[in-house]
Amino acid sequence: MTETVIFITLGGTLVGLATIGILLFLIQRKVKVKLNKFQLLAVASAIGFLVFAILHNVVYALGIVWFGDDCWAAGDESVLFTIALFVCPLGLLVAVIGNKIFRKHRR
């Protein structure tokens, strides 16, 4: 169990760092990329997934620090987790399908 948690945490951290590295590289090189709406939605969904997953963990930890271990017994902090887990991947799926249809009709 512990090895699985370490593997998942390490994998997520590496993906997050790689995403940040790519974004910093593109910003540093001042790469001008023209994105259509579906590509922009895909980028926003990928970044949103990382942001909301991190925010979920930060809010959870701050709640425990400020209000004690049993502060989340009612499950109130699951909104950010739900956005990260369901809304962002759904946006990515819509972006991929929309981009395929958009490219197919452009030809």
Establish how many alpha carbons lie within 13 A of residue 57's alpha carbon, considering only the half-sphere containing its beta carbon: 7
The whole-number pLDDT of residue 75 equals: 63
Digit-coded pLDDT (tens) for 21-52: 777 776 777 766 676 787 777 878 888 887 77
pLDDT interval class at 6 (50, 70, 90):
low
pTM: predicted TM-score of the whole model, two decimal places? 0.59
Q: Is the pLDDT of residue 5 over 70?
A: no
Q: Is the pLDDT of residue 90 over 80?
A: yes
Digit-coded pLDDT (tens) for 11-20: 667 777 777 7
Q: Is the pLDDT of residue 107 over 80?
A: no
Asked if 59 contacts 90 with a C-beta cutoff of 8 angstroms, the reply is no
The whole-number pLDDT of residue 74 equals: 63
* Residue 98 to residue 103: CA distance in whole angstroms: 9
The whole-number pLDDT of residue 1 equals: 52
Q: Is the pLDDT of residue 97 over 80?
A: yes
Asked if 55 contacts 85 with a C-beta cutoff of 8 angstroms, the reply is no
